[in-house]
Structure 1
């Protein structure tokens, strides 16, 4: 029963997303392409190839195979890749960086969804070397298992610092958090994720800029840009999407890409105004130390309108749940 209730709440939040100020058209936004492959029905993660020009990677959400797709600027699939030694319980996010030592692209796939907040004893994130050739293939994956130091969490966002290679998970909760993985990941034991800062309510994805000077966290309603130190720069208006699930920077770091679930879903390019481009700082941490106060998040807190929207979402969800309960008695 919990699954339908959670999906009902998700539908309510998605429906109310159009009421948010962030749903207004972003300045200069453009539809970059539409996924044409009928196999791409729940695009949940999005990343720009670090080594192939005009190539974008995506993968489907839960109930899918451990595979991802390389897509061209025209929305057509160039190659489909299956991961060997991987599962796809609930893939929710991906990241792509270039290894500064070798120049090779490195892809990360996050099996971190947990709608029951504790259904799984651990979560997994897979590391894959980016293929040099864009042709259908099966690729080896390195599996890292994780647990949260403060108990199970639902999450839909990961980001990798291109300067240090360190991995971060952003949870999707009303009091979400940014969690840092150990500097050195181990395959022979479970790695611990430790909370280092707060995240906006119900974050659906996150990404680092290619130069590591900033990062962004996406929610159903908007995207928030941060300096490397964790200081909030601005909220960036996002286009209206059916179910906003993904965020990434363009290769040159001057714009954001955002996508949605659904068949033939679009990917939009949203420019970052010059005034919203953060100034790099020497800090290597993506967020400030958590103070324990939920309101003091990198997202800059809630406005009165945000509160009204979430109250409306809760009211709609409660009504839907009550109706579902009556229908299933």
Structure 2
């Protein structure tokens, strides 16, 4: 039997330690994604979701068309804490929502922007103050501002809305155009009259700049946007589709249109029935991707690391 040298023993120990570290890393990576469900039989068609702007580990969501003007708030485990009934709001086709803070109060924006048949001359976005207390099973909120949006280039179906609270602009991304079209309006638009929805340009980056293809006008595909969100720091965005979510880092001097036209990182989640909701966590460290269904399903995963 040959003798085992000291160097050989050290080498074997190094291999063992490296293998153990890789195994631990693989286990951590395998468990980094987490699936949860929302414990409400009333949230049957979750179409919009956002993190609270003032409460940690709290998330707001709403149903698709056919429901009343109401929101549900739940924690990261899917436990529903309260239902918010909104006075002064219609609910024709709610599709997405977002939140922001002015430094003291939190606000919620709900986008009644769905238009499958492209026949609505106006669409609606409602601004609501976020409740500071979430202890009652049911609470009531009042619409602070009703934005009646007038699209400068005609009716468009849209399911994706995101707020840049620092710049005080709301962005909307269309769904059924040949290429998704990005629009925006100001939170400080003059009240008492329709608000022009300004067209910024097309987004031609999904699934990548090289592989992007036009879709049939009025049709949808696996790459049609069903939700959109901006990171709390404004340095990234996600666009959610029925199949995958796409993550777009944003450089300091880039506009949102420029950032969304870079090739994104693909965020894959396990198959869910109808993926139509997505948001960043309040600290920006996680992504939450949600689906319609009873119960509503949510995939929680780490935010991608930019290359």
TM-score band, normalised by the shorter chain?
0.7 to 0.9
Specify which of 248, 251, 254 is matched with residue 226 of structure 1: 248
Aligned to 1:109: 110
Residue 68 (structure 1) shift: 0.3
Structure with higher helix content:
1
Whether 1:258 and 2:282 are equivalent positions in the alignment is: no
Structure 2: segments with no counterpart, 5+ residues: 1-28, 207-222
Specify which of 181, 184, 194 is matched with residue 180 of structure 1: 184
Q: Render the CA deviation track for 1:237-279: whole Å, top value 9, x for unaligned.
A: 2331111101101122122110001111211112223235xxx
Q: Distance in 1 between matches of 2:71 and 2:187?
A: 26
Q: Render the CA deviation track for 1:156-213: whole Å, top value 9, x for unaligned.
A: 0100013212101111124211101136223311111122132344100000101111
Aligned to 2:128: 128
Judged with a 3 Å threshold, the aligned counterparts in structure 2 of structure 1 residues 262 and 138 are, in CA distance, closer, same or farther, namely: same
Aligned to 1:206: 228
State the TM-score, normalizing by the size of structure 2.
Answer: 0.76
Whether 1:139 and 2:170 are equivalent positions in the alignment is: no
Q: Distance in 2 between matches of 1:29 and 1:161?
A: 28
Instruction: Summarize the alignment of residues 173-322 of structure 1 with structure 2, pairs less than 5 Å apart.
Output: 173=176, 174-182=178-186, 184-199=188-203, 200=206, 201-228=223-250, 229=254, 230-231=258-259, 232=262, 233-276=264-307
Aligned to 1:44: 47
Q: Which has the higher contact order (CA 8 A, sep 6+)?
A: 1
Secondary structure at the aligned position of 1:274 is classed as coil
Q: Distance in 2 between matches of 1:107 and 1:146?
A: 17
8 Å contact from structure 1 (residues 28, 271) kept in 2: no
Aligned to 1:70: 73
Higher mean displacement: 81-90 or 225-234: 225-234
Query: How many equivalent residue pairs?
Result: 248
Q: Which runs of 4+ in 1 moved over 4 A?
A: 26-29
Judged with a 3 Å threshold, the aligned counterparts in structure 2 of structure 1 residues 54 and 32 are, in CA distance, closer, same or farther, namely: farther
State the TM-score, normalizing by the size of structure 1.
Answer: 0.71
Judged with a 3 Å threshold, the aligned counterparts in structure 2 of structure 1 residues 121 and 275 are, in CA distance, closer, same or farther, namely: closer
Q: Distance in 2 between matches of 1:39 and 1:244?
A: 17
Structure with higher strand content:
2
Q: Distance in 2 between matches of 1:107 and 1:248?
A: 13
